[in-house]
Amino acid sequence: MVFFKQNRKIQVEDILAKPLPQHIAIIMDGNGRWAQKKGLPRAAGHRAGVEALKRIVEFCGEINIPYLTVYAFSTENWKRPQEEIDTLMNLMVEYIQKEINILVKKGVRVNPIGNLEELPSFTYEYILKAATSTKNNDKLILNVALNYGGRREITRAVQNIARLVQSGEISLKQINEQLIAEHLYTKGQPDPDLMIRPSGEMRLSNFLLWQVAYTELWVTDIMWPDFKPEHLVEAIYEYQRRNRRYGGLNN
């Protein structure tokens, strides 16, 4: 189910005429089901999902989206078969090896978020290498959520703030929403304006729970491997048609 569909094909020029979202978040879902529908192993779906990511990262750079956050591997994904986990980790390394020079050239900064220390050592090594190699880029900040969970992120922030209170560096009265935001993985970044959920699932899946309080959601039944820039254009076009009230009255 695509919740928004135009009778005519939306052109890139249609969205460039209005303010674009500054931060887009995407739950890259549907790789396994895409493969199963085609009679392919799930690994083929994940590989196709990487190609979709490459398309979207490139397009976001072309239309000057400053921040893109993608859900690559959740804290719950460890429950999957070990073979599938190994495939995902190997694909991450392969993507970095093949694309790192292109990412540097195009001004993309890779910013891994999540509990990275729990990743396999080779994945951890390469994701940190990507972050280091692209640290001076500022055209597009690509947050890659790896071993990420929204509840764990908030718990981590609370623990860090509690340590500051315990050490006397801050008081309880100083704890506010801004302070909590500064202890999240996305500190210093604007909250997502638009969250995209491919595959038709109607849930947040423990993704950016604090940050998406007022984010506009766009859901489509298109599986992530089939997601193309034209679908992102459609999502942005719908986003631009909405009235973001943030709890207030209509403008």
Catalytic residue among 14, 64, 77, 193: 77
Catalytic residue among 29, 137, 191, 193: 29
Separation CA 135–CA 108 (nearest Å): 9
For residues 36 and 225, the answer to whether their CB atoms sit within 8 Å is no
Query: Is-catalytic flag, 29?
Result: yes
- Per the DSSP assignment, residues forming a β-bridge with 70 are 26, 144
For residues 111 and 119, the answer to whether their CB atoms sit within 8 Å is no
Separation CA 116–CA 75 (nearest Å): 11
Separation CA 22–CA 60 (nearest Å): 10
Query: Is-catalytic flag, 14?
Result: no
Q: What is the largest CA-CA distance in the chain?
A: 61
Structure tokens of 224? 């992530």
Q: Which residues contact 225 (CB under 8 A, 6 or more apart)?
A: 30, 31, 34, 35, 45, 48, 49, 51, 52
Cite the active site residues: 29, 77
